[in-house]
Amino acid sequence: MIYKRSSALFAEAQKVIPGGVNSPVRAFKAVGGDPIFVTRAQGAYLYDADGNRLIDYINSWGPMILGHAYAPVVEAVVETAKKGTSFGMPTEIETKIAELAVSMVPNIDKIRFVNSGTEACMSAVRLARGYTKREKIIKFAGCYHGHSDSFLIQAGSGAVTFGTPNSPGVTAGTAKDTLLAKYNDIEDVKHLVQANEGEVACVIIEPVAGNMGCIPPKPGFLEGLREICDANDILLVFDEVMTGFRLAKGGAQELLNVNADIVTFGKVIGGGLPVGAFAARNEIMDYLAPIGPVYQAGTLSGNPLAMAAGLTMLQELNDNAPIFESLAKKTKYLHDGMHKVLKENNVVHTINRIGSMISVHFHQDKVIDFETAANGNNNTFKKFFHSLLDQGIYIAPSAFETWFLTDALTYHDLDETISAIAKAAKIL
């Protein structure tokens, strides 16, 4: 495929935007080459500036679970925009989406909307600290909770891709309050809690890790966290920015049957517009301003366009529960097909999958945490990525990212993808 126009646009962009992108993972630094500039997208396909059609396995990093330019969402946004795009005053639609979200997700009474997953996680941790009157938090190596200072300590995703897990600009004072644990290692968490008795406000975790590839929790791991938190008056925060409204109507809490104290959302909840949210039971949420002492705010929070997109998306998912099964079936089909052709070509690999999240790792060991995820052969991944791209298949330009399937994918698209993987496998 030819990417002349994309490369020209990237050259222009680099003059006025750092690295030519507004979020680092969009650059192709980890795989080499220039990023693709998109002009439009429809269903499962992206169309780029050179006129190429790509089958999309990123889907805006998760939100487009029903496909791009999904008609009911687009219509809702257009109709809402005609009536004004922001008021800074309450609107009825905010209550409607809140009611729907609270009805879909287990264990939450109230929800507050913000503009990104980063904001949601940052606010959730402030709330946890305010509520418990403790300062330390436990996070897991390789988990990404957005780019607020407290979380840029061995974060996954872009922060790993670029080898700067500890970003300059994060103060030592902030970093010392973030305790790091190993994903899927309950003993590690126990030790940290013991060593910091009475000081830990919350444990924040991606209940299914998605920012170091896709890593499901081991059986008993989340249950173990729940027990430790209960025994030590620590709040358990599930960062469901990626898994919320993707793994099930009620997200990972529902699928894995473990309750969190605070849940954060982003991605799917905005239907492709900038939305994040955090939610909990009444006693915790009522600790927030204006009724409680913990401050949190936003000029564009609950923005009508964003709420219209989000509400329509949640309604579609709520009314069509088989979507989650359909997505899981498609993802398993891709898994089986990919495994078969990689094996036939003697490509050493491990595939992780849960629901509509899947990742392939180029080594033979089980991938269960950050260490094992980092063992993958990055050269093999680079070749794999570029071969797929040449064949019109777009996966994330980093070995540390999950693929997110969209229900707009047909079995024909999946077969085309598996054939492309078979071709790629021959050159690995």
Verify binding: residue 211, ligand PLP, rule CB under 6 A.
Answer: yes
Closest alpha carbon to 354 in 242, 262, 277, 204: 242
Piece of the chain touching ligand PLP by CB under 6 A; list 238-246, 308-316, 322-330, 382-390: 238-246
Instruction: Give the shortest CB-144-to-ligand PLP separation in angstroms.
Output: 5
Nearer to ligand PLP, 269 or 341 (CB): 269
* 315 CB burial (10 A radius; 0-12, 13-18, 19+): middle
Interface with ligand PLP, residue 225, by CB under 6 A? no
Residue 95 is inside which H or E element, if any?
helix 92-104
Per CB under 6 A, does 118 bind ligand PLP?
yes
- Residue 416 CB, nearest approach to ligand PLP (Å): 27
Binding of ligand PLP by 123 (CB under 6 A): no
Residue of 267, 330, 407, 413 marked catalytic: 267
Which one of the spans 141-149, 299-307, 321-329, 384-392 is the region binding ligand PLP (CB under 6 A)? 141-149
Binding string, 253-292, against ligand PLP, x = CB under 6 A? -------------x---------x----------------
Rounded distance between C-alpha atoms, residue 415 and residue 334, angstroms: 8
Dihedral sign, CA of 141, 145, 147, 148?
negative
Helix (H) / strand (E) element for 353: namely: strand 350-354
Radius of gyration of the chain (CA): 21
295 burial type by CB count under 10 A (0-12 exposed, 13-18 middle, 19+ buried): exposed
> Binding of ligand PLP at residue 107 (CB under 6 A)?
no
Stretch that binds ligand PLP, among 92-100, 114-122, 340-348, 350-358 (CB under 6 A): 114-122
> CA torsion 152→156→161→164, rounded to 10°?
20
Q: Which is nearer to ligand PLP, 3 or 61 (CB)?
A: 61
Nearer to ligand PLP, 211 or 303 (CB): 211
The answer to whether residue 239 is catalytic is: yes
Q: Which of 48, 56, 239, 369 is catalytic?
A: 239
Number of other residues whose CB lies within 10 A of the CB of residue 367: 24
Instruction: Work out the number of other CB atoms within 10 angstroms of the CB of residue 416.
Output: 16
Residue pair 292/105 in contact by the 8 Å Cβ criterion? no
Q: Is 206 near ligand PLP (CB under 6 A)?
A: yes
Smallest CA-to-CA distance from 26 within 375, 290, 398 is with 398
286 as an active site residue: the answer is: no
Task: Select the span of 82-90, 203-211, 215-223, 361-369 touching ligand PLP (CB under 6 A).
Answer: 203-211
Q: Is position 359 an interface residue for ligand PLP (rule: CB under 6 A)?
A: no
Min dist. Cβ of residue 115 to ligand PLP (A): 8
Q: Is residue 241 within the footprint of ligand PLP (CB under 6 A)?
A: yes
Between 200 and 215, CB nearer to ligand PLP: 215
Q: Which segments of 257-392 does DSSP mark as H helices, in order?
A: 282-285, 304-319, 322-344, 370-373, 378-390
Please report, for the chain, how many H helices and E strands are present, in that order: 15, 14
Estimate the share of the chain in helix, then strand, then coil, as percent rounded to the nearest 5.
Answer: 40, 15, 45
Which residue number is nearest to ligand PLP in terms of Cβ? Answer: 117
For the question of residue 230 being annotated catalytic, the response is no
What distance in Å separates the CA atoms of residue 251 and residue 270, rounded to the nearest whole number? 15
Indicate which single residue of 24, 117, 216, 217 sits in contact with ligand PLP (rule: CB under 6 A).
Answer: 117
Give every strand in the sheet of 45-48, ordered side by side: 38-42, 45-48, 53-56, 393-394
Nearer to ligand PLP, 27 or 121 (CB): 121
Q: Is 139 an interacting residue with respect to ligand PLP (CB under 6 A)?
A: no
The distance of closest approach from Cβ of residue 264 to ligand PLP in the complex, given in angstroms and rounded to an integer, is 7
146 in contact with ligand PLP (CB under 6 A): yes
CA 277/CA 108 separation, integer angstroms = 12
State the distance between the two ends of the chain, measured CA to CA, in whole angstroms. Answer: 19
Q: Does 145 bind ligand PLP (CB under 6 A)?
A: yes
Which residue in the set 94, 177, 239, 401 belongs to the binding site for ligand PLP (CB under 6 A)? 239
Task: Give the range of 106-114, 196-204, 206-214, 315-323 binding ligand PLP by CB under 6 A.
Answer: 206-214
- In three-state secondary structure terms, 40 is strand
210 scored as a contact of ligand PLP (CB under 6 A): yes
Residues labelled catalytic: 144, 239, 267
Sites of contact with ligand PLP (CB under 6 A): 116-118, 121, 144-146, 206, 210-211, 239, 241-242, 266, 276
